[in-house]
Amino acid sequence: MNPRLPTPPRPTPIGQHLFEWGQRTYVMGIINVTPDSFSGDGLADSPEAAVAQGRRLAAEGADILDVGGESTRPGAAPVPAEEELRRVLPVIERLAQAVDVPISIDTYKAAVARQALAAGASLVNDVWALRADPDLAIVIAEAGVPVILMHNRSHPKWAASTEGIGGHYQGIEYDNLMADICRELRESVEMARRAGIAEEKIIVDPGLGFGKTKEQNLEIMDRLGELKSLRRPILVGPSRKSTIGLVLNLPPEQRVEGTAAAVAVCIARGADIVRVHDVRQMVLVARMTDAIVRRA
């Protein structure tokens, strides 16, 4: 049992697997099927390469594979549902036959989620926490799958770009950073419940980098444990984020050590799932951090 949370949330079934919160940290591997990923790892034109990457990430210890067909970097252009489906469906269909880990569809569109779930996905990762498409909650409830609700205040007017670092946000103000995030996530959790999504199938994410400045992202990681008030499992995605680049003055491909430090702190502060690009390295970071903070 996780000593940081005497009574962890009830286990969550995802696909054919049962995720028992508090026992260990789970690792979600990222598969970007996009041409404009902030991290430079997009594979939009090669389903075969994306499937090969998924196989590799699963072999390296990923517990979930998160497939996304639309970049969410600051300033990225929206992608029509038809194009998003063209990118993700072949990858999900093949991965569902190739790996024995659950597949997540990273989308905020009901039309994309519906077909991705039919193709083999068993989890929806919504970066707008059910606020972008009112039909998404219905699709998730009808499918009976879990959902990740991510806090998001992104807006193009706050987007900035620094040479060598990439897109990030600046000038965003909160009345009370963690209280505001918790309140808005709680509202999304209630939206999910009203739509018929079972409580044990709801996971929350503070949305590092989504409508937050460098300083706010650092504070969120340090105060992550305050999200435990929602009584839901916590996913956090610090991997290669611009905050790391701004702190260390490094481009995305050189942020593995910064990501490792962020992952370790997030686990120590209460993360249940970490969403990462560098699965092999972060699995080891998670195991070591768990050995320290999850002692019986």
Residue 5 resides in a domain = no
The whole-number pLDDT of residue 141 equals 98
Residue 230 resides in a domain = yes
The whole-number pLDDT of residue 142 equals 98
- What CA–CA distance (Å, rounded) separates 173 from 136? 29
Mean pLDDT for all residues in the chain: 91
Residue 2 resides in a domain = no
Using the predicted structure, report yes or no on whether residue 77 has a pLDDT greater than 90: no
The whole-number pLDDT of residue 44 equals 56
CB 260: neighbour CB atoms within 10 A? 22
Residue 101 resides in a domain = yes
Confidence label for 47 from pLDDT (cuts 50, 70 and 90)? confident
The whole-number pLDDT of residue 221 equals 98
Confidence label for 75 from pLDDT (cuts 50, 70 and 90)? low
Using the predicted structure, report yes or no on whether residue 165 has a pLDDT greater than 90: no
Q: Which domain holds residue 141?
A: 12-293
Confidence label for 164 from pLDDT (cuts 50, 70 and 90)? confident
The whole-number pLDDT of residue 269 equals 97
Residue 91 resides in a domain = yes
Asked if 201 is an active-site residue, the reply is: no
165 or 244, which is more confident: 244
The whole-number pLDDT of residue 137 equals 98
Asked if 223 is an active-site residue, the reply is: no
For residues 215-238, give the mean pLDDT: 97
For residues 67-87, give the mean pLDDT: 86
For residues 160-179, give the mean pLDDT: 81
Residue 31 resides in a domain = yes
40 or 17, which is more confident: 17
Residue 100 resides in a domain = yes
**pLDDT 10s digits, 256-287:** 999 999 999 999 999 999 999 999 999 999 99
Residue 3 resides in a domain = no
The whole-number pLDDT of residue 34 equals 84
Please state the domain count of the chain: 1
**pLDDT 10s digits, 205-222:** 999 999 999 999 999 999
The whole-number pLDDT of residue 156 equals 61
134 or 156, which is more confident: 134
Q: Which of 241, 269, 287, 294 is catalytic?
A: 241
The whole-number pLDDT of residue 72 equals 76
Using the predicted structure, report yes or no on whether residue 38 has a pLDDT greater than 80: no
Q: What CATH number did the domain enclosing 80 receive?
A: 3.20.20.20
Cβ neighbourhood burial of 175 (10 Å; 0-12, 13-18, 19+): exposed
Using the predicted structure, report yes or no on whether residue 168 has a pLDDT greater than 80: no
> With a threshold of 0.75, does the pTM exceed it?
yes
The whole-number pLDDT of residue 179 equals 98
Using the predicted structure, report yes or no on whether residue 242 has a pLDDT greater than 60: yes
Please answer whether residues 276 and 28 qualify as being in contact, where contact means their C-beta atoms are separated by less than 8 angstroms.
yes
**pLDDT 10s digits, 187-206:** 999 999 999 999 999 999 99
